[in-house]
Amino acid sequence: MKPIIKRSITGAVFVTVLATSICWNIYSFFGLFLVISLLGVWEFYRLCNHTEYSPQKLTGILGALVIAGVNFAVSMGYISFSYFAVILLFIVAVYIRELYRNHSKPFSNIAMTILPWFYIVLPFDLMLQMSLFNNQFNYHIPLSLFVLIWTNDTFAYLSGMTLGRTKLFERISPKKTWEGTIGGGLFTLVAGWIFSLYFNEIALYHWLVIAIITVIFGTLGDLTESLFKRSINVKDSGNILPGHGGILDRFDSILMATPMVYVYVKIFIT
């Protein structure tokens, strides 16, 4: 199968599954992002095989599962204790477990075990919380976030291909240009305006700010993941999505944009 066909089929299936799961109900929403979170954490630990670090894979995966599950239960009102108390318990567990491992870089191992909980699991947990808009399930913000990211990525690429001259961050991503970034940003603002017409429980100016936040931090998220891959000399984070790479390749932008949008939504909208 030709690469472009494989990429197109994977992209179509990916978008269909993602959009359906986000819009169906809170349980399909949680189930989808639980799977994505766990796959992303496992992929992160596998990338560490290219380094001198040795994260606690089993403890890390179990921690990610419990942290995501507790966040869901707290968000739904099933339990009432602190979500972050669970994170603290698992951080302590990682410290204790490292005491019994004979490795030359124990604190690096601890850091690399804990990092994906904040880098991967937490953003999807925050997205779940944003889906409970005014304590009712509402997929508008999460779905819009993905569309804004895709709009920015697509039009940044097209603008960069046609107009790109000035490098944005050549040391990390030689192909990105300021012209492409600005072009992607302008089209993302248009997408934000369109969302304000259909999802009008949020005012136009809020949608435009969300679009700007998505462009800025989505681009930074992309650059951050590129920095990580360059530091360990790998091209893709994985191969779970044929023609698209790994989980971290597909969700790098959303992982940094989501926490920033969450902060804005919590302070200025809800």
pLDDT in tens, 180-206: 999 999 999 999 999 999 999 999 999
Report, as an integer, the average pLDDT of 24-37: 96
Mean pLDDT of the chain: 91
At 67, which amino acid appears? I
- Which residue type does 11 have? G
**Pairwise CA distance, residues 238 & 222, whole Å:** 15
- 66-80 pLDDT tens trace: 999 999 999 998 988
Rounded Cα gap, residues 146 and 254, in angstroms: 7
| Range of the structural domain that residue 115 is part of | 3-269
Percentage of the chain exceeding pLDDT 70: 96
Type of residue found at 17: V
Show the tokens assigned to 187. Answer: 């089209």
Identify the band that residue 133 occupies on the pLDDT scale cut at 50, 70 and 90. confident
Q: Give the E-state strand segments of 149-269 in sequence order.
A: 167-169, 173-177
Higher pLDDT, 210 or 238: 210
How far, in Å, CA of 27 to CA of 30, rounded? 5
State yes or no: pLDDT of 221 exceeds 90.
yes
Contact (Cβ atoms closer than 8 angstroms) between residue 29 and residue 139: yes
* C-alpha torsion sign, points 195, 18, 86, 135: positive
Task: Provide the residue type at 248 as one letter.
Answer: L
Tokens of 169: 């961050």
Going by C-alpha positions, the residue among 195, 204, 216 that lies closest to residue 152 is: 216
Residue with tokens 């490098």: 167
Number of folded domains that form the chain: 1
Question: Is the predicted pLDDT of residue 5 greater than 80, yes or no?
Answer: no
Mean pLDDT over 174-179 rounds to 91
Residue 3 has pLDDT above 60, yes or no: no
Q: What number of residues does the chain have? A: 270
Listed residue (204, 206, 203) closest to 214, CA to CA? 206
Tokens of 198: 């259909």
- Confidence band, pLDDT 50/70/90 cuts, at residue 233: confident
